[in-house]
Amino acid sequence: EAGVVQSPRYKIIEKKQPVAFWCNPISGHNTLYWYLQNLGQGPELLIRYENEEAVDDSQLPKDRFSAERLKGVDSTLKIQPAELGDSAVYLCASTPGQGSGELFFGEGSRLTVL
Amino acid sequence: GDSVTQMEGPVTLSEEAFLTINCTYTATGYPSLFWYVQYPGEGLQLLLKATKADDKGSNKGFEATYRKETTSFHLEKGSVQVSDSAVYFCALRDTGNTGKLIFGQGTTLQVKP
């Protein structure tokens, strides 16, 4: 069974440029998460989807960050414009339903903003 | 709000040494508790979990016991191997039952031959 797939693995951009990250969750997983992981820190939730609905986006900085999950499968996280402080690893995770508590993570997308 | 605190790393051990990584939590209810591990170049993966007080989670020789009285979930292994070198994250599932995981800051373990 394929795991959670994220792309790109690495991205280097200049500040004020836009960037987008893509996530393909495990087949059949209805719940999808985007987490932010700063260097030396644990992951912090940005947004959670149940199918195509964003049910928890309270931690998403909506002035520059946006996300979508069309058709309740793949998801895209966008930053526009990027700032130096956005340099981090962006993690996508999925789970069959919120009951299990076990999240399956992708390898992450490492963003460097210069 | 709910939170998790882990011992700071890095933790450096020789092969076959005993490992303890401390984890304590703050929560208003009785959350499920988890240890996730991140091997170099890989994504986080679940190591073990416990869903109620006094439960013991175990996997790959690692163990952790849910201690309600001390609000702790310390990770232990009797004899570490070089292949255990990784970053270990303690986490709790928020008591609002949304499925949201709250993570500690992670503890890096380095095992030397």
Note the pLDDT tens digit of each residue in B55-94: 999 999 999 999 999 999 999 999 999 999 999 999 998 7
Query: Which residue in chain B has the smallest CA separation from A46?
Result: B100
Best mutation target among A7, A24, A29, A45 (most B Cβ atoms within 10 Å) is A45
* Contact criterion met (CB < 8 Å) for B44 and A48: no
What confidence tens digit (pLDDT) does each residue in B7-54 have? 888 999 999 999 999 999 999 888 999 999 999 888 899 999 999 999
For residue B91, what is the nearest residue in chain A, using CA coordinates? Answer: A42
Residue A108 touches partner B, C-beta closer than 8 Å: yes
- Do residues B89 and B106 touch, judged by C-beta distance below 8 A? yes
CB-CB under 8 Å, A108 with B43: yes
pLDDT given for residue A2 in this prediction: 82
- Chain B residue numbers with beta carbons less than 8 Å from the beta carbon of A33 are 100
> What are the pLDDT digits (tens) for A69-99?
988 899 999 999 999 999 999 999 999 875 6
- Determine whether the interchain pair B49/A48 forms a contact, defined as Cβ–Cβ distance below 8 Å: no
What distance in Å separates the CA atoms of residue B106 and residue B35, rounded to the nearest whole number? 10
Q: Is the pLDDT of residue A59 over 80?
A: yes
Min Cα distance B113 → chain A (Å) is: 25
DSSP β-ladder status, A88-95 and A75-79: unpaired
Query: What average pLDDT does chain A have?
Result: 92
Among residues of chain B, what percentage have pLDDT more than 90?
81
pLDDT of residue A100: 63
Q: Tokens 């693995």 sit at which residue?
A: A9
Task: Tell me whether strands A10-13 and A109-113 are parallel, antiparallel or unpaired.
Answer: parallel
Any CB–CB contact under 8 A between A96 and chain B? no
Q: Can you say how many angstroms the Cα of residue B112 is from the centroid of all Cα atoms in its chain? A: 21
Residue B50 has φ and ψ, to the nearest 5°, of: -145, 135
